[in-house]
């Protein structure tokens, strides 16, 4: 059982160091820290300066071979001269280097006789034990612990315990290192280091965006005397002692981080001093209690498949970690604050992938995500204006101010569906929480302003009666400038109809609202000549086939990294779900035959180069009753961050895939309909063969239930305080609070997958 809550690194290997760093990221929402080793690795400089070219990030190679520190405070962005604003990688606070008899601990080249590192998901704690034989023959036992306090989100707490089997000379170095670049670029303008009392130090940097970031560190180690050692862009505390044989030294390092944009403005030293009287155990206990409460609200229990259980928990862990509570000035970036590959920016992922998990487990957390879009409306208005439009145009890659930051024009200019996705997300929040006032309140101006953008962005072909939407990139990024992308058109329809409804509350005139509705009704969803196939975009079925055998030799790497972009752009192939994504969102608008036709047509030509793809396919497979396919896509998605040998989370957590694991379990295998799809909480379970039990809580329109699904029956318990209608299959019951209703389940006939 404990294994279900633990991710373990059994042996250090340089090849997988980056992947574990990403996977072992700790965070409190406010502060995030990649799981880099306390003692660092040799030959892994963190101050490399290089230029990331605007390119296809999915297929990009990064220059950091072995280790990449990451210290992130969401919202701390800085300007990059040609890549636009990016989240800044802050000074690294977690360094503790043990030196025994003059030898620096180096897990790569040293003689390491035992090694085990584990991330405890239940308490968000990173632990490492190792036994190190020095060149002088001393056997050193080390234990590192680290957590970022959920109770005190500004605090990183670390402890190292060390003992040696014979007398040895021990030196410790622990400090703060600001010689860090973000994507090869230096964002620090001023740096100051100073000693802090006898056993501490402080660091302050000013970013090129004018944000002041302070770090204050204090060492706690009875009997050790610390010496302040400044260095260029860094400072450390040094202590030396003679370690008697068998005696354990325990050293604590506590670091507080504060910035000038904090909602609670306090000095880092104040945050730090607050913990002066707490023991490590006390600090950890209050932290663990917070996490316990978090897990209660969202844990999904899977029995029968321990790997699935662990993957799901790891995903939920990172979702819980990456969300910044009570701060709607930020959302969750594309790498879950566990790497800078996506520049710390916010994508359509926010609404279409991340939001449902929070909506159905912790609505107040979902609220900050939608409020983020409300708050960044001025940025979206600036974007629209920069492109020559009125209204608001949400950024494909947004910084904390809503500015379009994507440096690649094909995405920035053409992947406009994000603006409709934002409206969809606002509506989803309102419907899932039952907070109907939200749409006519805070969200109304966003809905109206984005609709105004669409009205100017719509095209009208010569002589055509209806509008169309030309030159767009849908979710599938292999077709950069396509016409009437089905997904985009349908989402824009949705956004315009929503604006027609709530328009008056957002300042739209009746004439505007009528125009919104008329435009929405006219937008086409392209189909093939038979009418049975929804086309990704006009002419999609006229594209030549790509010879996958010839061009996609190494299936472990993306197709895009093996074939020229211009060939991708004119071939009948997809990077990720596009029409299927549409059908996932609007299931009632497409017949079972249409869904099946789309599946058969698109799946064989979909490369899943994007981590957003397998999860969507798993859910659709569930709907189609393609259990084997669903299982295969689940396995694939579950491995994306956990398969360290293939890179895993090296550049950060694939946070939308993490959220898709929850969606697969709840919307896929449990067959729950979202509040966008059903007024009533409904399930249609279809568990994978090996899963004997699936259990999870759901928040629904202010109510709350616990769902238990077995192989033969399922039950729903109303754990909220109001009666709730629940439908399983075709049977609907109204559950009073406290009551459990049970439904028998019949195994559905298994369908064969044809593709």
Residue 257 neighbours by CB under 8 Å, 6+ apart: 30, 31, 71, 73, 90, 93, 154, 156, 213, 214, 215, 268, 271
Site track 476-505 with its own copies (rule: CB under 8 A), x = hit: ----xx------------------------
Rounded CA-CA distance 384/382 in Å is 5
**Residue 424 is inside which H or E element, if any?**
helix 417-433
Determine the Cα–Cα distance for residues 403 and 381; give it in Å rounded to an integer. 9
Q: How far is the CB of 562 from its own copies (least distance, A)?
A: 9
Q: What is the end-to-end Cα distance of the chain in Å, rounded?
A: 37
Which residue, 122 or 186, is less far from its own copies as judged by CB?
Answer: 186
- The yes or no reply on residue 80 touching its own copies (CB under 8 A) is no
Based on the shown chain and the rule CB under 8 A, indicate whether residue 549 belongs to the binding site for its own copies. no
Q: Which is nearer to its own copies, 187 or 294 (CB)?
A: 187
Question: Does 566 participate in binding its own copies (rule CB under 8 A)?
Answer: yes
* CA 416 remoteness from chain centre: 21
Please pick, from the candidates 192, 212, 460, 646, the single residue that binds its own copies as defined by CB under 8 A: 460
10 Å CB burial of residue 105 (0-12, 13-18, 19+) is: buried
User: Which span sits near its own copies by CB under 8 A: 41-49, 209-217, 455-463, 578-586?
Assistant: 455-463
Looking from the CA of 376 toward its CB, the CA atoms found within 13 Å total: 30
Nearest distance from C-beta of residue 611 to its own copies, angstroms: 23
Q: Please pick, from the candidates 10, 45, 48, 82, the single residue that binds its own copies as defined by CB under 8 A.
A: 82
The answer to whether 300 and 662 have CB atoms below 8 angstroms apart is: yes
User: For residues 354 and 373, what is the distance between their CA atoms, to the nearest angstrom?
Assistant: 14
Asked if 590 interacts with its own copies (CB under 8 A), we say no
Distance between CA atoms of 75 and 93, rounded to whole angstroms? 19
Residue 465 makes contact with its own copies by CB under 8 A = no
Least Å distance, CB 569 to its own copies, is 5
Pairing mode of beta strands 212-220, 249-259: antiparallel
> Which residue in 543, 639, 680, 739 binds its own copies (CB under 8 A)?
543
SS3 628: helix
Q: For the residues of 104-162, what is the DSSP string, one character each?
A: EP-TTTSEEEEEEEEEETTTTEEEEEEEEE-TT--EEEEEEEEEE-SSSTTEEEEEEEE
A 10 A CB-CB count for 550 gives: 8
Single residue of 49, 462, 465, 730 touching its own copies by CB under 8 A: 462
The answer to whether 3 and 628 have CB atoms below 8 angstroms apart is: no
Name which of 280 and 551 has its Cβ closer to its own copies. Answer: 551
Rule CB under 8 A: say whether 541 interacts with its own copies.
Answer: yes
State the nearest-atom distance from the C-beta of 151 to its own copies, in Å.
45
Closest-CA residue to 75 (of 350, 330, 328): 330
| Alpha-carbon dihedral 544, 550, 552, 556, rounded to 10 degrees | 160
Residue 560 CB, nearest distance to its own copies (Å)? 12
Residue of the chain from 264, 293, 530, 564 that contacts its own copies (CB under 8 A):
564
Q: According to CB under 8 A, which one of 8, 10, 47, 53 is a site residue for its own copies?
A: 53
Instruction: Say how many residues touch its own copies, by CB under 8 A.
Output: 33
Choice between 292 and 547, CB closer to its own copies: 547
Q: Which of 143, 567, 632, 733 binds its own copies (CB under 8 A)?
A: 567
Binding mask 406-445 for its own copies (x = CB under 8 A): ---xx--xx-------------------------------
Q: Which is nearer to its own copies, 314 or 458 (CB)?
A: 458
Nearer Cβ to its own copies (91/526)? 526
Q: With residue 302 as reference, give the H or E element that holds it.
A: strand 301-303
Q: Which of 293, 530, 542, 746 is in the footprint of its own copies by CB under 8 A?
A: 542
DSSP conformation class of 474 = -
Encoded one letter per residue, x for contact with its own copies by CB under 8 A and - for no contact, window 374-403 reads ------------xxx---------------
Give yes or no for a contact between 142 and 129, defined as CB atoms under 8 angstroms apart. Answer: yes
CB of 519 vs its own copies, minimal distance in Å: 14
Residue 555 makes contact with its own copies by CB under 8 A: no
Per CB under 8 A, does 510 bind its own copies? no
Q: Which stretch binds its own copies (CB under 8 A): 159-167, 485-493, 561-569, 623-631?
A: 561-569
The residues of the shown chain that bind its own copies, judged by CB under 8 A, are 51, 53, 81-82, 386-388, 409-410, 413-414, 459-462, 470-471, 480-481, 541-545, 551, 563-567, 569-570, 572
């Amino acid at each position: 059982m404990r294994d279900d809550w633990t991710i373990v690194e059994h042996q250090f290997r340089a090849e997988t160091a980056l992947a574990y760093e990403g996977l072992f990221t700790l965070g409190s929402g406010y502060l995030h820290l990649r799981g880099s080793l306390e003692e660092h690795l040799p030959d892994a400089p963190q101050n490399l300066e290089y230029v990331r070219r605007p390119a296809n990030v999915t297929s990009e190679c990064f220059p950091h071979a072995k280790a990449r520190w990451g210290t992130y405070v969401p919202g701390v962005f800085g300007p990059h001269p040609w890549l636009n604003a990016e989240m800044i990688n802050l000074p690294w606070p977690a360094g503790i280097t043990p030196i025994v008899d003059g030898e620096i601990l180096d897990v790569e080249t040293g003689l390491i006789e035992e090694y085990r590192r584990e991330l405890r998901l239940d308490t968000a704690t990173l632990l490492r034990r190792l036994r190190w034989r020095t060149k002088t023959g001393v056997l050193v036992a080390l234990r590192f612990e680290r957590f970022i306090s959920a109770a005190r989100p500004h605090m990183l707490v670390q402890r190292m315990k060390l003992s040696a089997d014979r007398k040895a000379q021990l030196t410790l170095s622990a400090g703060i290192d600001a010689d860090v670049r973000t994507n090869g670029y230096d964002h620090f303008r001023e740096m100051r280091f100073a000693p802090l009392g006898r056993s501490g130090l402080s660091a302050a940097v000013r970013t090129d965006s004018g944000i002041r970031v302070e770090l204050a560190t204090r060492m706690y180690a009875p009997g050790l005397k610390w010496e302040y050692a400044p260095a260029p862009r860094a400072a450390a505390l040094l202590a030396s002692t003679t370690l008697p044989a068998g005696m354990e030294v325990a050293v604590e390092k506590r670091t507080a981080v504060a910035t000038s944009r904090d909602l609670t403005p306090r000095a880092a030293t104040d945050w730090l001093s607050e913990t002066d009287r707490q023991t490590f155990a006390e600090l950890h206990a209050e932290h663990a209690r917070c996490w316990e409460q978090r897990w209660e609200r969202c844990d999904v229990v899977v029995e029968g498949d321990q790997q699935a259980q662990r993957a799901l928990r790891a995903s939920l862990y990172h979702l819980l970690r990456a969300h910044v509570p009570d701060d709607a000035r930020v959302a969750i970036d594309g790498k879950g604050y566990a790497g800078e590959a996506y520049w710390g920016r916010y994508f359509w992922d926010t609404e279409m992938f991340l939001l449902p998990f929070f909506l159905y487990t912790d609505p107040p957390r979902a609220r900050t995500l939608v409020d983020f879009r409300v708050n960044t409306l001025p940025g979206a208005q600036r974007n629209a204006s920069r492109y020559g439009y009125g209204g608001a145009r949400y950024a494909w890659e947004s910084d904390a101010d809503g500015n379009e930051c994507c440096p690649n024009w094909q995405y920035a200019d053409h992947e406009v569906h994000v603006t409709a996705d934002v409206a969809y997300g606002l509506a989803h929040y309102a419907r899932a929480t039952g907070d109907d006032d939200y749409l006519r309140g805070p969200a109304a101006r966003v809905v109206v302003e984005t609709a105004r953008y669409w009205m100017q962005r719509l095209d009208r072909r010569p002589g055509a009666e209806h509008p169309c939407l030309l030159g767009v990139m849908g979710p599938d990024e292999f077709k950069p400038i396509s016409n009437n992308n089905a997904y985009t058109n349908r989402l824009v329809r949705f956004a315009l109809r929503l604006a027609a409804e709530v328009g008056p509350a957002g300042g739209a005139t009746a004439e505007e609202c009528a125009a919104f509705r008329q435009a929405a009704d006219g937008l086409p969803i392209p189909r093939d000549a038979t009418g049975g196939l929804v086309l990704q975009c006009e002419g999609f079925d006229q594209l030549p086939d790509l010879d996958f055998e010839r061009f996609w030799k190494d299936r472990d790497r993306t197709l895009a990294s093996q074939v020229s972009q211009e060939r991708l752009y004119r071939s009948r192939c997809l990077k990720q779900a596009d029409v299927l994504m549409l059908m996932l969102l609007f299931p009632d608008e497409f017949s079972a035959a249409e869904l099946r036709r789309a599946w058969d047509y698109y799946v064989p030509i979909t490369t899943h180069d994007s981590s957003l793809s397998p999860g969507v396919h798993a859910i659709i497979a569930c709907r189609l009753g393609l259990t084997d396919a669903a299982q295969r896509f689940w396995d694939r998605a579950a491995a994306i961050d956990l398969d360290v040998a293939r890179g895993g989370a090296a550049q950060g957590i694939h946070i939308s895939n993490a959220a898709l694991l929850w969606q697969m379990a709840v919307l896929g295998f449990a067959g729950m309909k979202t509040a966008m799809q059903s007024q009533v909480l409904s399930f249609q379970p279809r568990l994978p063969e090996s899963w004997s039990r699936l259990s999870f809580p759901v928040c629904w329109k202010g109510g709350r239930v616990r769902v238990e699904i077995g192989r033969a029956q399922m039950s729903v318990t109303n754990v909220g305080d109001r009666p709730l209608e629940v439908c399983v299959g075709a049977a609907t019951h109204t559950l009073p609070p406290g009551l459990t209703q049970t439904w028998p389940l019949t195994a559905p006939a298994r369908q064969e997958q044809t593709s």
